[in-house]
């Protein structure tokens, strides 16, 4: 180790090495190899003098000494900022024009056989957790908590990651697609609809989502679902908790901050979302994208409100560690520009196994059955990519 903060690797990309991928606006960021790895937890990373920012600067400097003009850090940061980061500076990276989605056959013969599946917690356990949270709201200052679940799948053959990525792009061509090789093996893949932060010079953007409804095949029913979401007091309340917290974090940093008074609708192939497009201009353009992202993360969209108390409730009722799920994934260059999205609609692939994640925002007006159904709908994106749309009811395949 060249430092306690980061590991200097000085590696060149190897043949067939797993590539980092991040889709951004009209371009794809593709990166291979590792010059330096940053595992320092991002806790306190919003501060310029934090251990995390020192590790980031040290790794960038090593990359410059290795000949890179504008080093870039890529990877993921977990939900719990006290856990190790999964970041590195690639040996090579390039921006390429964003490719058009490629049609992917979903015929059963193209997919390996599903051998085993399980939900953690199961349906009864998740609904009990929702009830637990609602009771807690009535006796505490917590107003929202996001509860999640895991769906574990085992196949007869290794998972075809390229095929999954192609299917995800077809399902959500405007989403932020990502592929992150993990140091312990496996890959984090997904297509997030939610932008936490984009920074270019002094300009910043954020597009938080909170409040969701499953889309319908019938156009009239689908429109009715969207209209109902826009007028739902429960979903509007949940959304405004997120917006108010983001305003609290960004306002002190901004000379200008534009936050619409009311959310709009965003759609993917599976869901309608309440969405707010936030734009601002920083007082200090020298702040790097990761400083701001670490101050925003985790928002009430993936944790709850107030953040600290909601996290304690999550730790109490969720029977697993989230790891990278509901963390952030993206990039930041040495000039401070970057993009970070919320790590949702995702899974971790390891050989024949894939672990999928989904969550739902719980407020006092929540109904356990509805929240379970929301997680089912959110799992749909990744399940469809696996050729398993039928599993939304968690039935056993014929």
Residue with tokens 């029913």: 221
* CA-based nearest residue to 358, from 384, 385, 377, 330: 377
How far apart, in whole angstroms, are the C-alpha atoms of residue 304 and residue 242?
8
* Residue at token pair 């856990």: 83
Write down the catalytic residue from 144, 199, 339, 378.
144
> Nearest 5°: phi and psi at 395?
-75, 160
* Pairing relationship of beta strands 278-282 and 203-207 according to DSSP bridges: antiparallel
Q: Are 11 and 33 in contact (CB under 8 A)?
A: yes
DSSP 244: H
**Greatest CA separation found in the chain?**
61
Contact 330, 172 (CB under 8 A): no
Whether 371 sits among the annotated catalytic residues: the reply is no
Overall residue count recorded for the chain in this entry: 398
Q: Which two tokens stand for residue 383?
A: 């399940």
Which residue has 């007006």 as its token pair? 365
Inter-residue contact 333 to 31 (CB < 8 Å): no
Asked about 144 being catalytic, the answer comes back as yes
Catalytic residue among 194, 318, 339, 374: 194
* Residue of 113, 170, 148, 151 lying closest to 342 (CA atoms): 148
Residues whose CB is less than 8 angstroms from the CB of residue 154 and which lie 6 or more positions away in sequence, other chains included: 114, 115, 116, 117, 352, 353
How many angstroms separate the Cα of 273 from the Cα of each of 60, 219, 264?
A: 37, 17, 8
φ, ψ dihedrals at 60, nearest 5°:
-60, -40
β-sheet bridge partners, residue 264: 275
Which pair of tokens denotes residue 323?
């790891």
Strands 328-333 and 271-275: unpaired
10 Å Cβ neighbour count for 20? 25
Angle CA 237–242–245, to nearest 5? 120
Active site residues: 144, 194
């Amino acid at each position: 180790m060249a430092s306690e903060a980061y590991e200097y690797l000085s590696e060149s990309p190897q043949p067939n090495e797993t590539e980092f991928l991040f889709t951004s606006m009209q371009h794809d960021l593709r990166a291979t190899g590792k010059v330096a790895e940053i595992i320092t937890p991002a806790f306190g990373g919003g501060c310029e003098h934090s251990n995390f920012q020192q590790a980031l600067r040290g790794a960038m400097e090593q990359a410059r000494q290795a000949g890179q003009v504008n080093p870039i850090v890529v990877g993921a940061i977990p939900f719990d900022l006290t856990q190790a980061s999964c970041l590195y500076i690639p040996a090579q990276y390039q921006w390429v024009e964003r490719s058009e989605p490629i049609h992917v056959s979903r015929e059963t013969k193209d997919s390996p056989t599903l051998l085993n599946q399980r939900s953690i917690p199961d349906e009864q356990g998740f609904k009990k957790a929702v009830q637990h949270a609602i009771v807690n709201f009535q006796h505490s200052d917590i107003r929202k908590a996001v509860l999640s679940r895991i769906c574990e799948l085992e196949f007869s053959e290794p998972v075809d990651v390229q095929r999954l990525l192609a299917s995800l792009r077809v399902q959500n061509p405007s989403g932020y697609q990502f592929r992150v090789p993990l140091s312990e093996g496996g890959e984090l893949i997904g297509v997030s609809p939610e932008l936490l932060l984009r920074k270019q010079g002094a300009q910043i953007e954020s597009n938080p989502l909170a409040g969701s409804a499953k889309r319908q095949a019938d156009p009239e029913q689908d429109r009715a679902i969207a209209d109902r979401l826009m007028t739902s007091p429960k979903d509007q309340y949940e959304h405004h908790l997120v917006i108010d917290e983001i305003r609290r974090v960004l306002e002190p940093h901004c000379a200008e901050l534009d936050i619409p008074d009311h959310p709009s609708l965003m759609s993917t192939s599976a869901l309608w979302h309440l969405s707010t497009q936030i734009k601002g201009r920083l007082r200090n353009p020298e702040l790097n994208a990761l400083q701001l992202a670490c101050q925003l993360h985790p928002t009430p969209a993936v944790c709850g409100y107030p953040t600290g108390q909601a996290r304690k409730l999550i730790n109490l009722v969720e029977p697993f560690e989230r790891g990278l799920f509901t963390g952030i994934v993206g990039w930041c260059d040495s000039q401070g520009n970057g993009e970070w999205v919320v790590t949702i609609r995702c899974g971790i692939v390891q050989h024949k196994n894939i672990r999928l994640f989904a969550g739902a925002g719980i407020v006092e007006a929540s109904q356990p059955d509805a929240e379970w159904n929301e997680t089912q709908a959110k799992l749909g994106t990744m399940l469809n990519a696996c050729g398993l749309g039928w599993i939304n009811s968690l039935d056993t395949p014929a």
